[in-house]
Structure 1
Amino acid sequence: QQQEAAQAQFEAQKKQILGQILTSEARNRLANLKLTKPELVNQIEIQLIQSAQAGSLRGKVTDEQLKVLLRQIAGQKREIKITRK
């Protein structure tokens, strides 16, 4: 129960921070994407929170900025190449 409470508190803090650093369009995009790729969204959320805490974000993250970040992270995972002989 303690672990569940800690997890719930962490999720609440994460949601609050993301609400402060994302525009409504970017939040909607993340919410939609979370339905299909929750692990990718979790990775992006953590990266955004770390950037915000480090002070490297200026203003709110827009939908366009989020799209660029998504492409970068998705591109890293798709570099697997299989060749057949």
Structure 2
Amino acid sequence: MSDEYNDEELAEIEQRKLLELQRRMEMEERRRRATEAEAQKQEILRKILTPQARDRLNNVKLVRPELAEAIENQLIVLAQSGRITEPITEEQIKELLAEITTRSRKEFNIKIREKE
């Protein structure tokens, strides 16, 4: 009876190890795909941005990564649809950033009531 129990335990351990190996392989595949996608994205950006514009966007990424990511994605879509014919300059990136921040800026009025 104890041999049977050990066989069941071994089968369970093997099953857990197999599942863990599958999870690791899936994670590695996801990492590989993400790395490839990022490399493709950077290659497109290298083609459509001047070096100064890339530097500017990288600086924005340090402070507001979600904003830089959104701009990069939009520029890639425009490039893939053929709407970007010349490299984007740093000045154009500055204008785009100014437009976005002006549109998204929210003003808050704080009023303090005096106690009566």
Q: By the TM > 0.5 criterion, same fold? A: yes
Matching of residue 16 in structure 1 with residue 43 in structure 2: yes
Amino acid paired to 1:32? N
How far apart are residue 41 of structure 1 and its match?
Answer: 0.4
SS at match of 1:26: helix
Show the 5 A alignment for 1:6-85.
6-78=33-105, 80-85=106-111
The alignment's C-alpha RMSD in Å is 1.3
Q: Which runs of 5+ in 1 are unaligned?
A: none
Percentage of identical aligned residues: 43
Q: Please list the CA deviations of residues 15-59 of structure 1 after superposition, one character each: whole Å capped at 9, or x if unmatched.
A: 000000000110111111211111110000001001101111121
Point out which structure has higher relative CO (alpha carbons under 8 A, 6+ apart).
Answer: 1
Give me the TM-score of the superposition, normalised by structure 2: 0.66
Structure-2 separation of matches of 1:74 and 1:12? 28
* Matched letter for residue 74 of structure 2: Q
Cα shift at 1:76: 2.5
Larger Rg: 2
